[in-house]
Every structure is written in structure tokens, then in C-alpha cells.
A and B are shown apart, each in its own frame.
Chain A
């Protein structure tokens, strides 16, 4: 039971982080493509903005690892 809850917690940590990243990237990506079409020189800046939310899923992944390896 406890292992199951830990696994659920780890899954939630990475899953919610991934969903949040995806949601943010979808919005930034859509706006970014529009910006690039109008001003191709903004490509670099758009790439930077697009990858910023990935930190959320990385943190989720780290928390999941901590749950699985430290708390078990």
C-alpha cells in the first residue's frame, strides 16, 4: 500500500509538472510562431522563452526520484 502511494506521488509529481510545462509551452509556442513570422530575427528569443517552462517538469522529475529513492 505504502509503495503504491509513493509511486502515485512520484507519478503525480512528474505528471503535473509535465502538464504544466506542456500548457505553458503550447501558449508560448503559438505566440512565438506568430512573432517569428512577423520578425524572423526573434527566433533566438522565442527558443529561449519556449524552453523556460521545461524547468517545471525537470523539478517534477527530481522530486519523483527523491520520492522513489529516498522515501521508499
Chain B
């Protein structure tokens, strides 16, 4: 549900602004309004609070500091654990505790320490990080010349520094050893026998050659090699100018040195991280709190003598705020709740407040949008119907148990990550519904293994009673859409919109009548109800068109929306068929072990589909078909002025 919000203003002498700001920050419940369109006094006599130059400069300084800390924390290596199941290493020492952010709107707090620390730490850590990256880049680059090194290292003794001679390293395929004789012949011809050639076997397929020849023949010999498709070994660009021997020796030295140098740089970074991470995280939280104070103070207003703060607070917290202000300022600061007009409802921040077991489903509502203030929160209905639809599609005790175990594991393992934890809870409820549905349809890894362990379908066999299953799916469709229309009617009543009420009421009449007609037609309901249904549906038309207006005709579209619930049957049947196929394929194998493996693989496949597809389908039925009848998106997020640290 959507919590009731009180609209309020605080007025007091300017001299009390700083302590008032600090107290509000401490209380952490007021959403400060920056654009008080519907608030007294008229906007013409209000002025925004004049920005204090000192605060502005502190804001700029803190924004820079927060950004720098963020960068440092990204550079610092994270403690890694070989065993991710175990808790992470304890946090590093955080140093001296920082003073509270309140009360110093005018005092700088530890900004001095922060600036001083960052001034030395940022260049130091960034230089280390750069150095490590350079070393790593160089290591990766040199690794590409490993082949050159391997090929030419045996000839290192032969290579002497000389101004007249050129040393060419090449590799060629070993199967072309006949080429070697030809190459000798060609080299002899070109250089008039003034060359030396050494070769060695690199691997069974490759030969490495070192050709030594006078400089003047180098270009012609290179051309010759290129024509024969023999590749000259390349060296890194920055070593290309060095004589071959020197370059090779350098590469060999670097190959030995680089891993150690990288490890040293990494160790230095780890040491810095150990020393500073805790302190920096503390300072970052402090700076963020301070920034929040400064930024929020820019949304305050003033007259000549007074400050004015406009805002919103959950109504149940209003007495607490008023009492705290009275206790702290003994009547010097006025806190008053203001009446809320219909026209400003869309500006009221929205707080969803649901029981703890429903709260994880708020994530699913927020995927679409927050509902507007003064409308209905669909979360409780999502919490009821999402698991139901999810379970109806999977409907297998074994699959449900595996999903439940998985969601409990994920919830335990990632309990500190709210999004993952909430999704695990949502899927946990879905798994429980799948287990219960499994009992109803008698399925445990499909219907056949279920029958073997004594399970019998309590409702019906999904694979064979296709039309019954279709009827159940349509029944859920009618129920869900009628509920949506009922909620739409309630919303219209809350807003006092007669036209909307007529549209939703007509829609209920039409769809209810159609349900009776269909039930009577297929013999599910007594035949006289068929006529009642026709009368109801027909009588809804004047209500829809005369009272609801042209837009109300859209309500007839709900018939198609109900048909969309056939997907529950379609995907449920697909899941049951996959289980059936998995068991049949397993049964066709000659050995039991192979049969189990094959059946297990297909059941696993079914489970993977079972996690994604039913979730998307169940969600879609809510977002597209159900929400359409009552949900009004566009709610404003409630962002209280509070401490982050």
C-alpha cells in the first residue's frame, strides 16, 4: 500500500537555520521540496536561500574529493578469497573516528585531513597503478615475441655486434627442408657466397634460421625471403632499431624481470589498500553526508528575517518531527502540516509500505514505475498472483524443491545484496507454489515418476486434460481481470471520477456477463445463467457508452486480455511435455546410469526454462493485462534528507 504523506513547512529565524538543518539531517525523514508550487506564501515574495560562497567552494572541493576517493577505491585491489562461501577478509583499520556531520554547517570538519591525504595519496597510488599497468602491458607485448626468443636464443653466441653485418632471423616449415638447400643456393647467388646460415629445430613442424650477411645485400635477401613466403621474425617496435643480439638479450632479461616487477607493484598497491581503504571509505561516507547537507540547503527558501523549508514526510512520522523541533528550539521554529489539494497529488512523493513478506515484490512493481500518490499499490496483488501463476506453470514437486533449495542458498549467500536477496525471496514463494501445484497435478519430475512414488493428480492430469487446464487458465484470467477492474473502480471512486466509475463498472458487468454466458455455454454453469450472462453483457453497453464516454469502449478489450491467460495453460503444458519427454528419453537408454543422465539433462533444461519463462509470463500477465485496469504510474520517488554514512 501507499503510505499517507503529510505536506509541511518549517519556518524559523535565519539564525537557527544551521541547527535546524542538522536536526533534519539527523531525523532523516523529510523529503525537501525544491519547487514549492502549491505551498504558501506565494512564490513572488520567496527567494531561494542565498548561496554561501564558502559553502559553494566546500561543495566543489568535496565533490572532487568524493570522485578521487571513488577512483582510488576502484584502483585498490579487492581482497580475494579462494573460498567464496567463506566471509570476506575483515575490513582494514579505519583510523580515528570522524566527528559527526552535524552540527558543523559552518565548520569544515575533516575536509582539511581529506584534502591533505588525497593530495599525497592520489598521485602516489595513481603512479603505482600506472607503473603496474605499463609493466603488464609490456609483459603481454613481450609474450607475443616468445616464439622469436625461442627460435633465436640458441644462436645468441653467434651474434656479434657489427656495423657491416646484418642478422636475419626467420622461421620456415620443416617439411620444406628441401627449401633449405634451395635457400642456400639463392643466398649464395645473391651474396656471392658471403653469408652464413645456422638453423635449429623449434618444434616438429618448424625450423628457425639465422642468416648473417653483409649489410648491402640485406634488402635483396629480404625481398627474396618474402617472395618464398618465409617469415622474418619481428621484434617489438621500440627494439627494432637495436642490433639483433642486443634486442634479444634485452628481451630475455625482461622476460625474467617483468613478472617479479609486476608482483612488486601489485604488493605495493595491496599494501596501500590495506592501509587506506577503511579510512577512505569512512571519509567518503562523511563527505557524501556533508555534500547532502550542502545540496539540500540549496533547496531552502527565505524572506528577510526567516528561513522556510518545504517538504513531505510520512504522516506517522510527522508528530515525531514536530516534537523534535519543539524540544530543540522551544517554539522558535514553527512546524505545520498543510492541506493537500487534489491538483498537487501527482507531486507527492510515494512511499510503499507493505508487510515484510510482501516487500520483496515491490521490486517487481518498480520495474514498471512507482504508482502515483492517491492510487493503489499493486504490490500485494503481485505477491499473491505472481507465485500462483509461476507455480501453475511449473507445477512439479521435484522442480519446485530444487528451485526452493536454490533460492534459499542464494538468499543465504547474498543476503547482504538487497536486490539479489529480494529476487531470491520472490522465486522462493514461486517455488513453494510450484510444489503445492505439483501435489494438485501429481507431478514429481513429471507425471510418470510421480505415479511411481504414489502421487495421484488431485485436480487433473495436465498432459491429458488439456481442455480442463484451458478452463482453469481462463478462470484465473476472468478472476484476475475482474479484480483489476474492481480496483480500477475503487481508484475512480477515490478520485470522485464518475465517468471512470461508469467505465469500470460497465467493464465488470460486461466481463461478468460474458463469464456467465461462457460457463453456461460449455455446461460448467447451470444453463439459465447463459441467458443471465447475455442480459448482463448487453446491459453493460449503455452504461459503458452513455456514461463512460468514448474511451470506455476500451473496456471491451478485456475479453482479449482474458484470452491472454491461456498462456498459463500453454507454458504449463510445455513444461509437463518436457518432463514427459525427458523421462521417455531416459527410459529408452540401455543402462540405468545413462538413462538417469539423459533424463537429468532434460529435466535440468526444463528447470532453466522453468526459471525464466514462467517468471516472464507471470509478470507480463500483471504488467500488461492486470495493471491496465487500475495502475497509474508516474509516482515521485520519496528521497528523504538523511545520512548516508
Are chains A and B native binding partners rather than an unrelated pairing?
yes
Binding site for B on A (CB under 8 A): 43-45, 47-48, 51-52, 54-55, 58-59, 61-62, 65, 69
Given A45-B368, A48-B368, CB of A59 within 8 Å of CB of B566? yes
B50 at the interface (CB under 8 A from A): no
**Secondary structure dominating the interface of B:** helix
A–B complex contacts, Cβ < 8 Å, 15 sampled: A43-B367, A44-B367, A47-B616, A51-B616, A52-B620, A52-B624, A55-B563, A55-B564, A55-B567, A58-B570, A62-B563, A62-B566, A62-B569, A62-B570, A65-B466
Separation in Å of the A17 CB from the closest CB of chain B? Answer: 11
- Interface pair B624/A48, CB less than 8 Å apart: yes
Cβ of A47: which chain B residues have Cβ within 8 Å of it? 367, 616, 619-620, 623
- Interface pair B466/A44, CB less than 8 Å apart: no
- Interface pair B563/A48, CB less than 8 Å apart: no
B467 at the interface (CB under 8 A from A): yes
B369 at the interface (CB under 8 A from A): yes
Report which of B564, B566, B620 forms a contact with A48, defined as CB distance below 8 A: B620
Separation in Å of the A54 CB from the closest CB of chain B? Answer: 7
Within 8 A of A (CB), among B280-328: none
- Interface pair A62/B470, CB less than 8 Å apart: yes
CA distance A36 to B230 in the complex (A): 51
- Interface pair B570/A61, CB less than 8 Å apart: yes
Kindly report which residue of chain A lies nearest to residue B574, judged by CB atoms. A61
Separation in Å of the B503 CB from the closest CB of chain A? Answer: 22
Report which of A51, A59, A61, A62 forms a contact with B624, defined as CB distance below 8 A: A51
Separation in Å of the A15 CB from the closest CB of chain B? Answer: 15
Cβ of B570: which chain A residues have Cβ within 8 Å of it? 58, 61-62
Cβ of B467: which chain A residues have Cβ within 8 Å of it? 69
Cβ of A43: which chain B residues have Cβ within 8 Å of it? 367
Cβ of A48: which chain B residues have Cβ within 8 Å of it? 368, 620, 623-624
Cβ of A55: which chain B residues have Cβ within 8 Å of it? 563-564, 567
Kindly report which residue of chain B lies nearest to residue A44, judged by CB atoms. B367
Within 8 A of A (CB), among B559-577: 563-564, 566-567, 569-570
CA distance A45 to B619 in the complex (A): 12
Within 8 A of A (CB), among B530-579: 563-564, 566-567, 569-570
- Interface pair A58/B470, CB less than 8 Å apart: no
CA distance A43 to B369 in the complex (A): 10
Cβ of B466: which chain A residues have Cβ within 8 Å of it? 65, 69
Report which of A45, A54, A69 forms a contact with B567, defined as CB distance below 8 A: A54
- Interface pair A59/B563, CB less than 8 Å apart: yes
Report which of B470, B563, B620, B623 forms a contact with A54, defined as CB distance below 8 A: B620
Kindly report which residue of chain A lies nearest to residue B467, judged by CB atoms. A69
CA distance A55 to B559 in the complex (A): 13
Contact with A along B359-371 (1 / 0, CB 8 A): 0000000111100
Kindly report which residue of chain B lies nearest to residue A60, judged by CB atoms. B570
